[in-house]
Structure 1
Amino acid sequence: MAHSLIRNSIKSLNPKLLSTLSAHRIARHFGSVAAADEEQSSSFTFSSEGDSVHLRAPAARRKQSSSVTMPMSFMTGSIVGKRFYKEVKTREADDGNGWTVMLDYRTLKTPAKRPLKLPTLALAKAIAAEWEYQQIDGIRPFTMPLMRLACTALERVPVTRPKILEQLMKKFNQDLVFCRAPDDNDLTSGVHDRQVEKIDPLLGWLESEFGVKPVVYSSFYGGKQDDGLVIAVENLLKKTDDCELAAIDAIAASAHSLTIAIAVVQGKLQIEEAIELIRLEEDLQVDKWGLVEGGHDIDVADLRVQISSPVVFLGLSRNL
């Protein structure tokens, strides 16, 4: 993908957003608690019978092989016990290929019990900052979007790539940007006009990029895109690396649009432009009826994190 364009997307972020990137993540999207890890080299046990993390004396505190394995439920868990470490730092991987995060003297591991080996020092430091941010009263996985994306790119994407591609393409015909409000009544004509103004340029880019004009429709159930466009988009996804596919998948899930996800990753859309398209209809309602505090404003903050995190993750994974 175009690295310079990704760099421009990252530079466009509000510095205050970056400094509080994890803080806006909304807990309601997550459910279960962490499961137990019985690996002898680990000094920590995650209990599945509560929300606490139990500290266990290590067999050999001096051993560098001691580690902390994040259970699979960390990817979707709620608060997991209390903070059980004092210092967070990064170091080069044992094989010299990549970087790892250390919690005190223990190497952080993925849910599959492999060291969290990151491609760049920049990404390792960013994930270390997420761990450093955690408060004494509890570890909050939902405030670690970069950690979650790293685990996805390292473990889920390589194993389930065909399934991810299948799911992305399955929803492509119902893409948000293809659905057009009717223009024949007063209730929807304003939405239709705004869609023409804001979304048509993106559809024009999609046509120029893949050589096939997309079909717009007014049904909530979606329509059928030209096979040539479907094949072209699928071929693009097949050429992505694991970090790119993880980023596209995450953005598409939040945007309800594979088109927007691809445009963001390729640099066609900046983050705020993407958010404007995603929220186009809702923002029109807010303009008309007013903003609900504690509702619309939190939704916007949450969406900004969900779209920004994959862009930042992808940029940091390339040292951009």
Structure 2
Amino acid sequence: MASSILAKMAKSIRIANPTLIPFHSFRWRTLTTSVATAAEQSQADAASFTFSEDSAREDPIFVKAPNSKSGADSSSHSNSSVTMPTSFMTGSVVGKRFYKQVTTREADDRNGWTVMLDYRTLKTPSKRPLKLPTVGLAKAVAAEWEYQETDGIRPFSMPLMKLACTALERVPLTRPKIIEHLVQKFNQDLVFCRAPDDNVLTSGVYERQVEKIDPLLDWVRLEFGFKPIVYSSFFGGKQEDGLIKAVEDLLRKTDDCELASIDAIASAAHSLVIAIAIFRGKLQIEEAIELIRLEEDLQVDKWGLVEGGHDVDIADLRVQISSAAVFLALSRRF
């Protein structure tokens, strides 16, 4: 479901940096967005949609206020916020769709854009307005909410919303730890692991790696001034300190949305190099997926595809890489 929603959403927005997305993947159409009136904006300030940080309580929630007979009670309900459980960030279905219209509007301080659910401001888990850097990203997140079915809100079909929460809340608080983790894993990067060329079982893999991955390693050398070292061990090996320092410096200069995207891609790809290549516009999504799945695709070609296994893995990888790349492109101000 997430892949279909992402595809529909991507058709509705114009990516600011098209080198990140294969041109044949998307046909563009315009997403219409309602602009709240002054009175509606005032109502939006009072009524909010939030996510709860209370992990101890994961009971089913009721998100539609009961009908009230008195005007006073009705006013009270309209001013209250709707709190969602933290299970939203873990993928559980969190309740039935309780809103009819999804719109976007400029933030009150005119520094970013917010998403509105029936003119209630969408909020982060810490109950701050979900303020996004560009209108394109706000519309993309709004599209994920718009495509939710009436029988339930499915967070696993909203990868951009999750990335937005990560960029706005997790990254500012844990930026040094995220960078430290990425640098620690750098020596075991997928693209540094080379199959032995003297084994009949792996010679085909080695030849494909030379053809497909060596150009990327050459780009790393030109980009950072150090030639990566390849290893035939699954445990990798030590790269030059200068290369590690150059990569770390690049990560430190990223903004929160960029670092969230790089971290998500690196996690899905098991490769910080591939994540940085997408970040710098060197790789498009399909090229990155091909490199990530290079060895497994060779095995599938030889032995066949296992339905319910390989096909699910491929779909999941496409959602993870595509959503992070789309989020990265849409978050950039040009």
- State the TM-score, normalizing by the size of structure 2: 0.81
Distance of aligned partners of 1:13 and 1:67 in 2 relative to their CA distance in 1, 3 Å threshold = farther
**Is 1:65–1:107's contact at 8 Å kept on the other side of the alignment?**
no
Deviation, 1:196, is 0.8
Cα deviation, residue 316, structure 1? 1.4
Aligned counterpart, 1:82: 96
SS at match of 2:230: coil
Of 17, 20, 28, 1:6 maps to 17
In the superposition, relative to structure 1, how do residues 54 and 206 fare at CA in structure 2: closer, same or farther (>3 Å)?
same
Shift of 1:11: 5.2
For 2:225 and 2:288, locate their aligned partners in 1 and report how far apart those are by CA, in whole Å. Answer: 22
User: Which of 251, 265, 270 is the matching residue for 1:256?
Assistant: 270
Report the count of equivalent residues: 297
Gaps of 5+ in 1: 20-39
Quote the sequence identity (%). Answer: 71
Deviation of residue 295 (structure 1)?
2.0
Question: 2:125 is paired with a residue of what secondary structure?
Answer: coil
In structure 2, do the counterparts of structure 1 residues 54 and 67 end up closer, same or farther at CA, with 3 Å as the change threshold? closer
Structure 1 segment 6-155 matched on structure 2, within 5 A: 6-10=17-21, 12=23, 14-15=25-26, 48-56=57-65, 61=75, 66-155=80-169
Structure 1 position 9, deviation (Å): 1.7
Are positions 1:277 and 2:291 aligned together? yes
What is the alpha-carbon distance in structure 1 between the residues aligned to residue 312 and residue 28 of structure 2?
14
| Aligned-partner SS, 1:55 | coil
Query: Letter of the aligned partner of 2:65 in structure 1?
Result: R
Question: Which consecutive residues of structure 2, in runs of 5 or more, have no partner in the other structure?
Answer: 1-14, 31-45
> Counterpart in 1 of 2:244?
230
Alignment match, 2:217 = 203
Greater shift after overlay, 90-99 or 246-255?
A: 90-99
Contact kept, 8 Å, 1:122 with 1:319, in 2: the verdict is: no
Offset from partner CA, 1:175-223 (integer Å, 9 cap, x none): 0000011111111111111111110110111111111111111111121
CA offset at residue 10 of structure 1? Answer: 2.9
Deviations 1:97-131 (A, max 9, x none): 21111111311100011000111111111111100
SS in 2 for 1:222: coil
Name the CA distance, whole Å, in 2 between partners of 1:82 and 1:142: 15
Q: Choose 118-127 or 270-279, whichever is displaced more.
A: 118-127
- The answer to whether the 8 A contact 1:169-1:234 is kept is yes
Distance in 2 between residues matched to 1:184 and 1:17, nearest whole Å: 48
Once the 2 structures are TM-superposed, how far is the Cα of residue 249 of structure 1 from its aligned partner?
Answer: 0.4
Contact 1:212–1:226 (8 Å) recurs in 2: yes
Q: Please state how far the C-alpha of 1:152 moved relative to its aligned partner.
A: 1.0
Which has more radius of gyration?
A: 2
Match of 1:265 in 2: 279
- Which range moves more in the overlay, 261-270 or 8-17? 8-17
Offset, 1:17: 11
Q: In the alignment, which residue of structure 2 is the partner of 1:288?
A: 302
Other structure's SS at 1:101 match: strand
Secondary structure, aligned partner of 1:291: coil
Q: Secondary structure at the match of 2:201?
A: helix
Kindly indicate whether residue 195 of structure 2 is the aligned counterpart of residue 181 of structure 1.
Answer: yes
CA distance in 2, matches of 1:64, 1:277: 51
Counterpart Cα distance in 2 of 1:53 and 1:16: 38
Provide the C-alpha distance between the structure 1 equivalents of 2:16 and 2:104, rounded to a whole number of angstroms. Answer: 28
Pair 317,96 (structure 1): closer, same or farther in 2 beyond 3 Å: same
Report if aligned partners of 1:127, 1:146 keep a CA contact under 8 Å in 2.
Answer: yes
Cα distance, 1:6 vs. partner? 3.5
Q: Describe the superposition over 1:227-257 as per-residue Cα deviations: whole angstroms up to 9, x where unpaired.
A: 1111111011111111111110010000000
